[in-house]
Amino acid sequence: MNNDLQMITTTIEQKREKFIDVSNRIWEFAETRFEEFRSAELLCQTLEEEGFAVERGAGGIPTAFIGTFGSGAPIIAFLGEFDALSGMSQKKGIAQEIPEIPGGNGHGCGHNLLGTGSLAAAVAVKEYLQKYNLPGTVRYYGCPGEEGGSGKTFMARAGVFDDVDFALSWHPMGYNSVMAVESLANYQVYFKFKGKSAHAAASPHLGRSALDAVELMNIGVNYLREHIIPEARVHYAVTHTGGLSPNVVQAKAEVLYLIRAPHVPQVQEIYERVCDIAKGAALMTGTEVEIVFDKACSELIQNKTLESVMYRNFQQLGVPQFDEQEQALAQEVRATLTPQERASSAALPDGASPDLVDWLQPYTGATIPLNGSTDVGDVSWITPTAQCNTACFVNGSALHSWQWVTIGATSIGHKGMLHAGKVMAATAIDMLKNPEAVLQAKKELQERLGKQAYQCPIPEGVQPSAKK
């Protein structure tokens, strides 16, 4: 291990208990999109303790912030998330589904780890700049509302990433890799129907059912699925049914749609067709429909230049190693998985444990389609961006599951989190010392975009909303 990697490792290990405490407290707060006030303030205070100047309310979002240290080029961005999922409360460190708070929130996507791992990376790079008195700016971007809110997209619209030279992030997973992926763009939109109430038996002819309109819209969209590109995804949730009285014609009802496709123009086309179906449902039922745009995000633009540097540093640093106690807990949790989940596990090298991944997946640069979405995509249109994964969870366990919540506040998750911080910090310092690589990463981004310029997919008038 060279001197730079040794310094990064030492810096993060010396502060490991501080980072673990931050992660665990965010896990306990379990705050959902754009309501992460305690989590955001904890991260802000920690950044200030570490010598960063903190701008709260970045991009006009109360729970967004930017911590900055240093001056001059390059400007390095670390992206941190810290929002939880509603209804996913779970006790930590057990192999049984038991909520900590019935109906409460939980970190089913590991964002307590994600935000803290990026914090560790930012602190390590800050220490490096300080020790060697080097020019350069390190920024930690506190990005709220990734789950269903696209906080980074709103921040991108506000221009907060425009002067960044490159951005690094990560995501906790059940394996170790560099994320050579392209994600799906998406729109999230409310369709709110308004009708007229009436007695459902005595005078149903006087009523106009908003719930009927929602149901007809959903049927229409289900028929639409045959006639859109196979890579697209359309999901919906009925968020308001109009009440609990079947003898009342429901005057109000609403449904929330999430529309995904590989590129924003494809999402726009499907969205327009879904809007037509909603208008048709309103015509059929004699109701009115209000279309409320909630949020959107762009597809991820891969940057092989930056990914290659990240992979080289990942190889040199190795992967997280787990002890017998951690292996035992992982084995218990893995036993709760379905056969289909276990079948989705990472392929095992000879002699490897199936429960916790302790090897690095090879990086070829080949792009893997990602059927999910991430607002990191919008950052990747503006500046070269790369991400890694580290093993923080049981092999084969699914995102947004109680198995992730229970492991996310254990030493298994902590080890992966701290290791991700080391990989990102090492990548940043490698790029810092090699200005030609920064220029090459920017050139690659421009070549991939061609004549396309970034256009925020969220209309100007739409503001972040905490509504779930």
Q: For residue 468, is pLDDT > 60? A: no
d(CA 271, CA 258): 9
Q: How confident is the model at residue 356 (pLDDT cuts 50, 70, 90)?
A: very high
- Both tokens of 340, joined, read 């289909």
For residue 225, the 8-state DSSP code is: G
pLDDT for 108: 98
pLDDT for 62: 97
Those residues whose C-beta lies under 8 Å from the C-beta of residue 43, and which sit 6 or more positions away, are 22, 26, 65, 67, 80, 82, 115, 116, 119, 140, 142
Nearest to 389 by CA among 183, 110, 125: 110
Mean pLDDT over 247-276 rounds to 98
pLDDT for 351: 74
Q: What is the mean pLDDT of the chain?
A: 96
Give the burial class of 293: count Cβ atoms within 10 A of its Cβ; 0-12 exposed, 13-18 middle, 19 or more buried: middle
Enumerate the domain spans of the chain.
Answer: 3-182+299-449, 185-297
d(CA 388, CA 392): 12
Q: For residue 312, is pLDDT > 60? A: yes
At 168, which helix (H) or strand (E)?
Answer: strand 166-173
pLDDT in tens, 405-447: 999 999 999 999 999 999 999 999 999 999 999 999 999 999 9
Placement of tokens 């990548």 in the chain = 427
DSSP one-letter string for 418-465 = HHHHHHHHHHHHHHHT-HHHHHHHHHHHHHHHTT-----SS-TT----
Instruction: Assign domain 3-182+299-449 to its CATH architecture.
Output: 3-Layer(aba) Sandwich (3.40)
d(CA 176, CA 190): 37
pLDDT in tens, 109-122: 999 999 999 999 99
Return the minimum-mean-pLDDT range out of 197-206, 245-254, 269-278, 337-346. 337-346
Quote the pTM value: 0.96
pLDDT in tens, 183-209: 999 999 999 999 999 999 999 999 999
d(CA 165, CA 382): 9
Mean pLDDT over 134-155 rounds to 97
d(CA 40, CA 28): 13
pLDDT for 467: 65
CATH code: domain 185-297 is 3.30.70.360
User: What sections of 66-164 are H helices per DSSP?
Assistant: 111-132, 146-149, 151-157
pLDDT for 285: 98
pLDDT for 50: 98
Q: How confident is the model at residue 343 (pLDDT cuts 50, 70, 90)?
A: confident
pLDDT for 82: 98
pLDDT in tens, 16-54: 999 999 999 999 999 999 999 999 999 999 999 999 999
pLDDT in tens, 361-401: 999 989 888 889 999 999 999 999 999 999 999 999 999 99
For residue 116, the 8-state DSSP code is: H
End-to-end CA distance of the chain: 46
Nearest to 428 by CA among 162, 137, 141: 137
d(CA 380, CA 442): 11
Q: For residue 282, is pLDDT > 80? A: yes
